[in-house]
């Protein structure tokens, strides 16, 4: 069993930057959205090799209306063979685009909405054991519809959009009825944010 030090105060509890020497980094696969790399690093007294998805990063939007309902979308996700419930979200795939601007773009593209107020909620590494993807979450309020609907194709062509009471979305996550990690992080963070405010 790992030794417990007991020396971390609540104020100092945070991730720690650690950058071992990368001896070699090889592009194994170049994808349309993300790449796969294989790195050989010096770690401890030896070397280890790790493969991981080299990701552009992403944004996720918790859009909450004046009735405390959160906007959820449902679309088909092939790797899990499900139409899962999600937050509007998208890639940081425009060179130099700030995360909040990407979030504004994604809310427009996926839900035909704009928000008057944007507030950062948190940032999270989606799957740090296999990817360097970081997701920036934003709370969007003061919502209004855009005059023109965006054209959608592929899995986005039949997106289902629903407004769900925030408490119901949190309950569905905690009851194990919705499994999308970004959705879980976003609605739990939004509920906590509301309680603290």
Residue among 11, 109, 156, 191 flagged as catalytic: 156
- 134: tokens are 């970081």
Residue 96's alpha-carbon distances to 56, 72, 92, 99, 147, in angstroms, are: 11, 28, 9, 9, 27
Residue 125's alpha-carbon distances to 8, 56, 69, 95, 162, in angstroms, are: 22, 12, 26, 20, 27
User: Strand 113-125 relative to strand 134-145: parallel, antiparallel, unpaired?
Assistant: antiparallel
Q: Known catalytic residue: 153?
A: no
- Judged on CB neighbours under 10 Å (0-12, 13-18, 19+), 183 is buried
Rg, the chain, Cα only: 19
Q: For the stretch 65-90, what's the b/e string if a residue is b when 16 or more beta carbons lie within 10 angstroms of its beta carbon?
A: eeeebbbbbbbeeeeeeeeebbbbbb
Catalytic residue numbers, as ranges: 156
């Amino acid at each position: 069993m790992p030794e417990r030090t007991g020396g971390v105060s609540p104020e100092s509890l945070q991730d720690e930057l650690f950058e071992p020497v990368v001896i070699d980094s090889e592009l194994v696969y170049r994808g349309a959205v993300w790449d796969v790399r294989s790195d050989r690093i010096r770690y401890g007294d030896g070397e280890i090799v790790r493969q991981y998805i080299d990701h552009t990063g992403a944004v996720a939007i918790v859009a909450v209306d004046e009735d405390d309902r959160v906007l959820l979308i449902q679309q088909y996700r092939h790797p899990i063979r499900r139409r899962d419930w999600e937050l509007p979200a998208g890639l940081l795939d425009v060179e130099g685009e700030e995360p909040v601007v990407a979030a504004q773009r994604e809310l427009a593209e996926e839900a035909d909405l704009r928000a008057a107020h944007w507030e950062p909620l948190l940032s999270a590494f989606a799957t740090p054991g296999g990817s360097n993807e970081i997701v920036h979450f934003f709370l969007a309020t003061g919502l209004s519809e855009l005059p023109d609907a965006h054209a959608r194709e592929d899995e986005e062509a039949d997106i289902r959009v629903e407004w769900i009471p925030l408490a119901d979305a949190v309950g569905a996550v905690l009851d194990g009825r919705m499994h999308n990690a970004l959705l879980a992080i976003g609605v739990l963070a939004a509920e906590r944010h509301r309680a603290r405010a």
